[in-house]
Amino acid sequence: METLLPAIAISLDGKELDPATLFPPERRDIWLEIGFGGGEHLAAQAANHLEIGYIGCEIFLNGIASALAHIDQQKLANVRIYPEDVRDLLGVLKPQSFARIFLLFPDPWPKARHAARRFVNQANLDIVARLLKPGGEFRIGSDDPTYVSWVMMHMARRKDFVWLAECASDWLVRPADWPPTRYEQKAIRQGRTPHYFRFRRV
């Protein structure tokens, strides 16, 4: 951690950041994962798409250490980490920088008085819309019924996203190109039902 994290960590200088400058020119697209937890999904996606530049954001030390172990073990050269509050990074990123953005099993803040802390809100969705390229994809995973309803309510208000689900299985069955996370597996063991949302930027 002492050597790998400094080599791949993103630092901010107050100026607009073009994510493409963090990777060699041959990286075809850039993907962003907000709150990567233990890094299982991040590492799997990066390993499956070596042509993609992958930025992962996580503030908790244990999650960062876990992700770094995956990155080191698989010798992934296409990953960069932002180990601070993601809001600071989102505010300086160049518009239309990402082909995909992932928000997987975020803290649901289940109590009503904490609802304002949920990442999915109209202000943050404005940011996601600004950062995605036209045709880019926003993926959200959650096993919390309140958060699932919250996502559906907020995304239904958006005219700049289209929900890609065509039938119930499209959001109840994890897509083949969506690697599992430890949080998802824990939810299944405990009898909760994960939901998988895919939205396209229009």
How far apart, in whole angstroms, are the C-alpha atoms of residue 19 and residue 43?
A: 18
What does the pLDDT read at residue 1?
Answer: 64
- In this structure, what CATH number is given to the domain that contains residue 25? 3.40.50.150
Domain total for the chain?
A: 1
Q: Which residues are catalytic?
A: 107
Mean pLDDT for the chain overall: 94
Q: Place 88 in a pLDDT band, splitting at 50, 70 and 90.
A: very high
Q: Using DSSP, state whether 197 is helix, strand or coil.
A: strand
According to the model, what pLDDT value does residue 28 have? 83
Per-residue model confidence as pLDDT tens digits over 159-179: 999 999 998 888 999 999 999
Alpha helices in the chain (DSSP H): 4-8, 40-48, 61-74, 86-90, 122-131, 145-156, 169-172, 182-189
The average pLDDT across 60-73 equals 96
pLDDT tier at 155, thresholds 50, 70, 90: very high
Check residue 131 and give its pLDDT: 98
Predicted pLDDT of residue 23: 95
- Asked if pLDDT for residue 115 goes beyond 90, the answer is no
Taking alpha carbons only, the member of 143, 81, 149 closest to residue 120 is: 149
Domain span at residue 13?
4-201
pLDDT of residue 81: 98
